[in-house]
Amino acid sequence: MSKAKPKTHVDKTPNTSLSTAPEIPFLWDKTKETILIITKARENKLVCYTRQITEWLVTTPRFDKKYPFIVYVDAHLEQSKIFDYKSFKENNSELANRIKFWTPKLCQNNPGLFDLIITAMLFTSWLFQSKVPPIMPFHLGSLSFLTPFYYKSFREELDALFGSNRIDKTVRMRLSCTVYRFQESTSPSPQRRVRQNSITGELWTKNMSPHNSPSLVDKWSLLETAWMRQQLYSRLENIPPDREEFIEDHVRCYTTWPSETFEVLNEIVVDRGPSAYMSALELFGDERHLTTVQADGLCIATPTGSTAYSLSANGSLTHPDVRCILVTPICPHTLSFRPMMLPDSMSIRIVVPLSSRETAYCSFDGRNRVELKKGDHVKITASQYALPTICNINTSNDWFMSLQKCLQWNVRQRQKSFVVVESCEKDLANSSSLSEKDNLFACIQSRLKNNSTTAQNQDTEDDDNNENAAWDLLPWSEQELRRDKLKETP
């Protein structure tokens, strides 16, 4: 009689990878009326722009309404002299009632309150750590790689958005990053016996049976991470080296618990911090040990973040429609560690081994830098909270336009042809400079030239009065931006 096959374990954990189409049509719902404007701090010119957009949104009749929208602006602008909210209250109290003020806590606790966000994207992603309303990004920063819209034409762009035409919307992938802390447990079970190599500092461990029965005791294996109970290195023996190389046996219990979680749009970076030593990190993919990273650090990026820190570390440029996770080493001490693109369904862990010389540091989109001590690790997965952005034309066109305009992607003078054609002296003189056709890329539409001229005029606009003046809008402090941490229970 044949034995029944054992039942295989089926992982019923929902896949958090994005299964929706990256680019979907967007049609404005006329019943929606709440708009959030996030203004960059320390830019008095942008405070003026915020007042103009706010007044235009509220006072322009639309959808059979005299005041069609409720507009939320930064709470610091309530006392701003440039924004001058008092003039709204004095001249039109009904208009003033349609202008409200947001704080970081309001956005964090009520993400569904807003129907549209007008701003740049990175700070918005940090402000909304769960559901994110659609974002219409305007070119108001320095590089402005992710902002295809220009302030000079905000009336035409918003009219088109609120009209009956369908507009493309890009769903940008984000990463969910959870920091796990290592600690010894006071629980009496399960216990592990731990040995430390006095030469290399490596830790070896095995489970202890309830009654120390030899038949129930696990074999010795390396303890490189506290959360992984299986053997991690097939190339290592199960029995430790000679006993004289080890310190005295001792019993130790350990556990890990989640400390905090961040949703990032660009990248998470784990680096050596202020230490002079290079980082030693263990990289895992779907609980499988991939490699030991010996470098200045490791950058885990989204396709959107492929043009940020990952690009500086020689990572690949990745189209926003590609659903993947980019793994890019930072100054690796090896010639063979190349950047990788992993599927977004893969769960990644970066661990600081217990045998590491120093601790590591981790930052999320350049914010909330935290220290990872020995035994700590960070788990990275595709977030279920994507970030939707309104397209100017479509995803591909906007992305390639930004590459060519902001990063000057593959810009080079065209090589001269071997064909020699007789021409007049006037043609020869003109041939020394590139023609307009040679300077433009085929995929860029004619509106790029107009937008570039508009952006140049906008950037060179005279702002001498504001340069010497005090900033009218100050940024939110770290204490005001601080989110409530997860309950720290072992």
Q: What is the DSSP string of 325-365?
A: EEEEEEEESSSS---EEEETT--EEEE--TT-SS-EEEEET
With tokens 């950047």, the residue in question is 339
Task: State CA 146 to chain mean position distance.
Answer: 12
CA distance 197 to 195: 7
Q: What is the pLDDT of residues 347-388, one digit of tens each?
A: 999 999 888 889 999 999 999 999 999 889 999 999 999 999
User: In the prediction, which pLDDT does 430 show?
Assistant: 56
pTM of this structure? 0.75
Contact (Cβ atoms closer than 8 angstroms) between residue 313 and residue 301: no
* Nearest residue to 219 via CA among 201, 207, 209: 207
Segment 43-50 mean pLDDT: 90
Q: How many CB atoms lie within 10 A of CB 336?
A: 5
With tokens 């990572």, the residue in question is 315
Contact (Cβ atoms closer than 8 angstroms) between residue 34 and residue 113: yes
Q: Which letter, b or e, does each residue of 210-230 get, where b requires 16 or more Cβ atoms within 10 Å of its Cβ?
A: eeeeeeeeeebbbbbbbbbee
CA distance 448 to 180: 46
In this prediction, residue 481 has a pLDDT band, given cuts at 50, 70 and 90, of confident
Asked if the model's pLDDT at residue 407 lies above 60, the reply is: yes
Q: What is the pLDDT of residues 64-110, one digit of tens each?
A: 889 999 999 999 999 999 999 988 888 888 888 999 999 999 998 99
Contact (Cβ atoms closer than 8 angstroms) between residue 133 and residue 116: yes
Could you give phi then psi for residue 313, rounded to 5 degrees? Answer: -95, 20
Can you read off the two tokens belonging to residue 8? 């295989």
Segment 256-276 mean pLDDT: 91
In this prediction, residue 272 has a pLDDT band, given cuts at 50, 70 and 90, of very high
Asked if the model's pLDDT at residue 463 lies above 80, the reply is: no
CA distance 179 to 352: 12
Q: What is the pLDDT of residues 285-308, one digit of tens each?
A: 998 889 999 999 999 999 999 999
Name the residue with higher pLDDT: 82 or 231.
82
Query: What percentage of residues in the chain have a pLDDT greater than 90?
Result: 44
Q: What is the DSSP string of 207-275?
A: E--TT--GGGPPPPEE-S-SS--S---TTS-SS-S-GGGB---EEE-EEEEEEEEEEESSEEEEE-TT-
Q: Which of 76-85, 263-272, 354-363, 421-430 has the lowest mean pLDDT?
A: 421-430
Q: Which of 79-88, 408-417, 474-483 has the lowest mean pLDDT?
A: 474-483
Segment 307-316 mean pLDDT: 94
User: In the prediction, which pLDDT does 226 show?
Assistant: 39
In this prediction, residue 13 has a pLDDT band, given cuts at 50, 70 and 90, of very low
* Nearest residue to 378 via CA among 299, 468, 275: 299
* Nearest residue to 364 via CA among 308, 320, 313, 417: 308
Please, what is the angle between helix 154-162 and helix 44-59, to 10°?
Answer: 40
User: In the prediction, which pLDDT does 144 show?
Assistant: 73
Task: State CA 474 to chain mean position distance.
Answer: 24
Considering the chain, what is the average pLDDT of its residues?
A: 78
In a 3-state reduction of DSSP, which class is residue 456? Answer: helix
* Nearest residue to 73 via CA among 85, 87, 89, 65: 85
Contact (Cβ atoms closer than 8 angstroms) between residue 374 and residue 353: yes
Name the residue with higher pLDDT: 235 or 175.
175
* Nearest residue to 166 via CA among 23, 21, 22, 27: 27
How far the first Cα of the chain sits from its last, in Å, is 47
Name the residue with higher pLDDT: 249 or 175.
175
